[in-house]
Amino acid sequence: MDSILVRGGGALQGQIPIAGAKNACLTLMPATLLSEEPLTLTNAPRLSDIRTMTQLLASLGAEATSLQDGLVLALSSHGKINTHADYDIVRKMRASNLVLGPLLAREGHAEVSLPGGCAIGARPMDIHTDGLEKMGAQIELRDGYLHAKAGGGSLKGAVIDFPFASVGATENIMMAATLAKGTTVINNAAREPEIVDLASCLRAMGAQIEGDGTSRIEIQGVDRLHGATHRVVTDRIELGTYMLAPALCGGEVECLGGRIDLLAAFCEKLDAAGISVTETEAGLKVARKNGRISAVNVTTEPFPGFPTDLQAQMMALLCTADGTSVLEEKIFENRFMHAPELIRMGADIEVHGGTATVRGVKQLKGAPVMATDLRASISLILAGMAAEGETKVARVYHLDRGYEHVVTKLSGVGADIERIRDA
């Protein structure tokens, strides 16, 4: 098993290219199931989750070819489609559930295993299935699989009111609705950039969608979708993560492809903490304004609020801030598992339920730590880059699910970091 070895202390300087969005690409890939014509995705991230989705689509009868060193995905579902999404693949990744809507829309039935993913709390499928049932699907859970069948062989338009703005459910219903009979309205829809990106791709395939980026999305079903080429949006979570690197370590880093509109709430918190974010022709340039970081309070919220997927990384920054910061996690429970590992590095953190109180210390100290999930992995690496001495981050297989070429990107701006094989 691999670990990441980090030696802290140095300021950073240079440029980091930001990849295409993992969460967007994992949503876009199942859209190939909606058409018999080819779907080509450019600016694809090169991650293990993308490979897992490729395996899942192949098991369903789709063709998925990686081109240009993985930056382009050529997808096609022109042959016979298998509607059984097997547990052995689906268990590896939460986003696997996004084949349910497209399979139901195209084939009228599907059997999809309940999904897996990082252990960061319950993320139930009820909101997905409730929405599909409003569209005429009959769904039953048996032996760990969702057995779904569209009444009369096809889904029908419906008005769906989500109890909360679920990203995955919005995506699943959007894809299902593109081929449904009639008009589907999603109220309290998620507004994330990944939703807008999916709608853009589906429109390029011939779908009729309005309102993406707002809380009300309307989809008029069509008889068929055609092929398209679509560029995956910039990964706002990778962007935010690497923006925090010079904030923690000092120096100045330009994140290529970055846009403030993808992370407005996050950028506001950085400004309050004493971090300068400047737009350039190529992306975003990030540096400390002066001296130490100021404490700020953070509450995770659905977009356009502060992203839950940047909470762990922000905590790493606030560990050395002047004063006391309070972080409230309102999206997922059990998402402070990185806190005990940061405490091993000298951080002063108290966790009570969904709230973490962080009292800034003068300096973190290197220590052996263990990653518990994807975002925890990178938060510990960032903390290690700012710590005195050496930090060894174990169980970094999580990292490969969401960050491509971490060592290359961070060492390219001056970080002392390497990946090692444990004995």
Residues with a catalytic annotation lie at 118
Q: Are 110 and 140 in contact (CB under 8 A)?
A: no
Bond before 246 cis per omega within 30 degrees: no
Count the Cβ atoms, other than its own, within 10 Å of residue 190: 23
- How many angstroms separate the CA atoms of 104 and 136, rounded? 11
Does 309 show up as a binding residue in the annotation? yes
Distance of CA 115 to the CA centre of its chain: 16
Burial class (CB in 10 A: 0-12, 13-18, 19+), 134: middle
Does 130 show up as a binding residue in the annotation? no
Q: Are 71 and 42 in contact (CB under 8 A)?
A: yes
Enumerate residues 6+ apart whose C-beta is below 8 A from 153: 108
Specify which residues 368 forms β-bridges with: 392
Pull the structure tokens for residue 292.
């130490």
Element (H, E) at 367: none
Does 331 show up as a binding residue in the annotation? yes
The secondary structure of residue 4, as a DSSP letter, is E
The CA-atom distances, in angstroms, between 114 and each of 94, 167, 184, 297, 409 are 9, 17, 25, 36, 35
Q: Is 36 helix (H, G, I), strand (E, B) or coil?
A: coil
Residue 337 one-letter amino acid: M
- How many angstroms separate the CA atoms of 20 and 76, rounded? 20
- How many angstroms separate the CA atoms of 389 and 391, rounded? 7
Q: Are 121 and 332 in contact (CB under 8 A)?
A: yes
Enumerate residues 6+ apart whose C-beta is below 8 A from 382: 241, 244, 245, 248, 313, 316, 317
Closest CA to 35 of 230, 208, 209, 205: 205
Does 94 show up as a binding residue in the annotation? yes
Helix-helix angle 311-318:264-273, to 10 degrees: 10
Does 375 show up as a binding residue in the annotation? no
- How many angstroms separate the CA atoms of 24 and 233, rounded? 7
Annotated binding site for phosphoenolpyruvate: 22-23
Annotated binding site for UDP-N-acetyl-alpha-D-glucosamine: 94, 309, 331
- The annotation places the binding site at 22-23, 94, 309, 331
